Chain A
Amino acid sequence: MIPNTLTPGTLLIAIAAFASSLAAILLLYGYVYRTDELRPVTLVAASTSTLSLVVAHTYLTYQFVVGDYTNAYVWQNSADYLALLYRLTGPYANHEGSILLWATLTAVVATWTVYSSRFEGRGANLAQSISLGIVAAFATMLVAQSPFTPIEVAFPDTPAGFVPPDGDGLNPLLVDPWMAIHPPITFSAYALLIVPFALGVTHFVSLFRGEDSVFDEWLGSMRQWLRVSWLLLTAAIVFGGIWAYGVLGWGGFWSWDPVETAVLIPWLALTGSLHAINRYGKTGEYPIFAPASATLVFPIVTFATTVVRSGVFRSVHSFAAGGIGTGILFLLGVTGTTAIALPFTYWFLEAEEGSRDADEPWLSRRTVYHGAVLAFGVLAFVSIWGLSFPVIRNAATGVEVSVGQDHYNLWSYPVVVVGLLAGGMYALLDLRRRKLAIGATAAVAVSTLIAAFIAPSANWYLSDPAAHDPLVYRIVGSVSVLSIVPPAAYFAGSWIWRYVDRIRGVPSRTFKIRETGIVLTHVGAAMLIVAVSFIYLFSTSASVAVVGIDDAGTDPEPIVEESPDGEYEVHVRNYETVEEPTIEEAARSPEEVLAVDEDASLVRGEITAIDSIDGTAIARLEDSSVWLAGADDSLFEEGDEVIARGTVFEGETAATDAQAFVYTDADNMGPVSDPPRDVHTPRVTSHELDVTVYEGGERVAEGTLAEQEYLHSQMNTNDAVIERGIAGDTYVVGSIDERSASITIDTYPLANQIWFGVVLMIVGMTAVTLADSRRDQ
């Protein structure tokens, strides 16, 4: 390592890498030799590691807040004009910083397991060792690719000692309040998953060694870890969706972008795993699958991160990178192999063959439940495979194939339908209504098939397959979306019935809360599935072009345009541009001019003295050692407060105590009341326009549209106007410049049922988690 790359921040991460490795090794030693005598050292090492990472992360945040552009990462992802919120969120705007956040949260969780009295006994040492080993892997990749790399190392062309006067800016898409909470929530969910992973691995190792498993003992707490993680992951996906909905170009909530697909996979795996573990906790079924699935969620999360970050897969988030890309692939390889190989080996070599009870019918509750669990697995695989096979096929044959939305939608659809039928049937079987369950499921299955043929208009078909598309796409694609309604209604209905039946006459409040949580989660899921199926098929879009909007700024009468088919009438008023930062905000004080290193500066201050050197007029600003200079001797007036832009020269004359001259002229200078706006280039120019949209004489949307242009980025962002209603959203967005606007009016039916369904699921899961934690106490 070149010495000058070893900044204090990198050093902190290196300490964390060393301390967590040490703690992991000591714990492993303690596990193998059955000793606890090294525990004091282990505790110190584990907390040192966590503390170093927390300090490193805080330090990075501090650098962002103060704008320390000697750090290349800060320079790349921040700028002076950004509000405090986006400086606080800057650390996880990119690769290195977000891995640092993940590592820090992981370290907190890992160290908590070391300190917590809940994890004791022989297996605990191994589980803690695995958790800290993962922290060590993260810290090591961050040493290799540090978020604290100095700018002259990251950009070797930079002259020595150069400090950039301003940052390059934050990715415009991330300048959004939702993006401020999305990454911490996602990474908290990811960090929590190392505990089930470590416990699962320990479970199988213990089984191989013929020891008591720790799994049963920790089952309750593991289930709670998974639930909290599920809640956070669900919230993270929803916040991501809300953000995608607001930021134009991503096609609404969901477009099966690799990032979106990647985060859905751990969610499906986690949901499936929770189902298996619940069953295990209740009946002891899934003795291998339940711990195995919990173990597998962390590798799947790593897979998701590989997709998002390593550059192996193609995505808007991908950065083909050195240390971190390789490190995450390594982590994926090790954890994935462990999580798959251990349970499978155990299953092949050790597991006893389970046998069917003589009186168990083929279509039993257990089998139906198993079908639902498998459905989650298949859904996850559809997504994993959609991400993977283009890469595999490309690597094998050099042929590039496209995986469109049809792949995901059309393959997942039948699985979802079957899953809903199985879920509905399970609820009825749980009521001991076997005949009814079979009869009702058969009837719903038949009505699903019939509904598949009922399509009042072309919108109802799931897809629009072409004649050359594969057979399966043509078959599933020509199914009517009405076919989702019977299974979803059946599913929701039978779960509600099961709920009513179960809580009747039961006095326990905890039990009731728990059951309410379960029913809300399932009903929310059914609602979500129906809304998601309909929203895109029935969305509409119309565009209106408006010219001459610059005149609308002063005219009280709106410009009125109709959409081509006459469906909408758009009224446009009050066009204005908002610059950020304004010239007043961007102008530096004399002290700041001295502090930064730039060829030309924009400076602001009151003229406190006037002088001249060799025919050049000079004017002192704010009694400082910064002077303005100009050829025209009538340029400066004592007592004026001015903003001026000009080339900066070091002060050389003995006559004044000037340290710097800003050489300006009449075009580049003006009073603060009327500054020379043309000489300033803002970082962001926002074009704003008030619109009102009428449909058949009725006002359907009203608000301010905006399009932001960014100086250092070719990408613009848009603020849409979203008018929400029970039937759906009216979504108005515009591409606006100085002269004209192209306004698009989209409608998304059932948009709010999506949010409502998700809220039900989150409330339900929270209730279950709380009820169980109450019961445990």
Chain B
Amino acid sequence: MTPRKLLTIVVLIAVLGFGYYSMNAAPVLSDHDYTYQGGIEWHEDPDEAIAVAEEQDKPVLVYYWTTWCTYCQEYSDNHYQNEEIRGELDEYVLLAINLDEPGPGASLASEHEAAYPPQHVIMTADGEEVSRLGGYVEEDRFLEELRSGADSA
């Protein structure tokens, strides 16, 4: 056994350990039913979200995001942590669609022409679009959009 072989083996074991550890330590963004953007539960299936919206008579907030979008990270870290915004979000049924893997949300994404993240679309429970917010906006502007959307929907 040369020192180099020993070193290689130690590093290999460390790398395997790193791989296992980091994979399990990564924060969960979504499981089979929900997406967790900013720690809030969002629906993934538009049909499901619309059904809930009809039942509760609420508008739907559709959020188009991706894992690599830095502005989405901003939304998660700041906007969705803001108490006022959180309060306003309660007025909505939340639907988040990952643009890279839209799954059942694919047709809605193309209907909304959501080509890049982040995008927020407010729609009524019948699927009628109320307003659209492309890209990144400051928190107060976002709040304003949510308020006026909830009022008009």
Contact = CB atoms under 8 A, between A and B. Distances in A.
Interface string B15-54: 1001101110111111110010000000000000000000
Interface in A370-400: 370-371, 374, 377-378, 381-382, 385-386, 389-390, 392-393, 398-400
Nearest to A394: B101
Contacts of A411: 18, 22
B10 to A, nearest CB: 9
Contacts of A713: 115
A370 B115 CA distance: 47
B68 A316 contact: yes
A367 B4 contact: yes
Contact of B29 (A251, A389, A402): A402
B13 to A, nearest CB: 12
Contacts of A403: 26, 67
Interface stretch (A80-88, A354-362, A569-577, A762-770): A354-362
Contacts of A386: 22
B124 interface: no
A400 B2 contact: no
Contact of A400 (B7, B8, B35): B35
A314 B26 contact: no
Contacts of B28: 399-402
Contacts of A392: 23
B126 interface: no
Given A385-B22, A402-B26, A314 B101 contact: yes
Interface in B88-128: 98, 100-101, 113, 115-116
Contact of A367 (B3, B18, B98, B115): B3
Interface in A337-368: 354-356, 362-364, 366-367
B71 interface: yes
Nearest to A362: B3
Contacts of B116: 316, 714-715
Contact of A385 (B19, B29, B32, B67): B19
A715 B71 CA distance: 14
Nearest to A714: B134
Contacts of A377: 11
Contacts of A316: 66, 68, 116
Contact of B71 (A249, A374, A390, A404): A249
Chain B interface: which size bin? 35 or more
B73 interface: yes
Contacts of A362: 3
The main secondary structure of chain B at its interface with chain A is mixed
A267 B68 CA distance: 21
Determine which residue in B8, B19, B66, B67 has the highest number of CB atoms from chain A within 10 A of its CB, and name it: B67
Interface residues of A, number: 50
B70 interface: yes
Interface in A57-79: none
A691 B73 CA distance: 29
A355 B3 CA distance: 10
Nearest to A313: B100
A543 B74 CA distance: 15
A470 interface: yes
B70 A250 contact: yes
A126 B91 CA distance: 68
A381 B15 contact: yes
A325 to B, nearest CB: 14
Contacts of B134: 714
A204 interface: no
B11 A378 contact: yes
B30 A370 contact: no
B98 A364 contact: no
B25 A472 contact: yes
Nearest to B73: A404
B136 to A, nearest CB: 8
A258 interface: yes
Interface string A241-258: 000000001110001011
A318 interface: yes
A748 interface: no
A407 interface: yes
Contact of A255 (B19, B35, B70, B115): B70
A534 interface: no
Nearest to A315: B68
A404 B138 CA distance: 22
Contact of A370 (B4, B15, B26): B4
A716 B115 CA distance: 13
Contacts of A627: none
Determine which residue in B26, B100, B116 has the highest number of CB atoms from chain A within 10 A of its CB, and name it: B26
A250 B71 CA distance: 9
A374 B29 contact: no
Nearest to B74: A251
A356 B25 contact: no
Contacts of A398: 31-32
Contacts of A366: 4
Contact of B26 (A250, A258, A367, A390): A390
Contacts of B35: 400
23 contacts: A249-B70, A249-B136, A316-B66, A316-B116, A355-B2, A367-B3, A370-B7, A370-B8, A381-B19, A385-B22, A389-B22, A389-B26, A390-B67, A399-B28, A400-B98, A401-B27, A401-B28, A401-B29, A470-B21, A472-B25, A713-B115, A714-B115, A742-B138
Interface of A: 249-251, 255, 257-258, 314-316, 318, 354-356, 362-364, 366-367, 370-371, 374, 377-378, 381-382, 385-386, 389-390, 392-393, 398-404, 407, 411, 469-470, 472-473, 543, 713-716, 742
Interface of B: 1-4, 7-8, 11, 14-15, 18-19, 21-23, 25-32, 35, 66-68, 70-71, 73, 98, 100-101, 113, 115-116, 134-136, 138
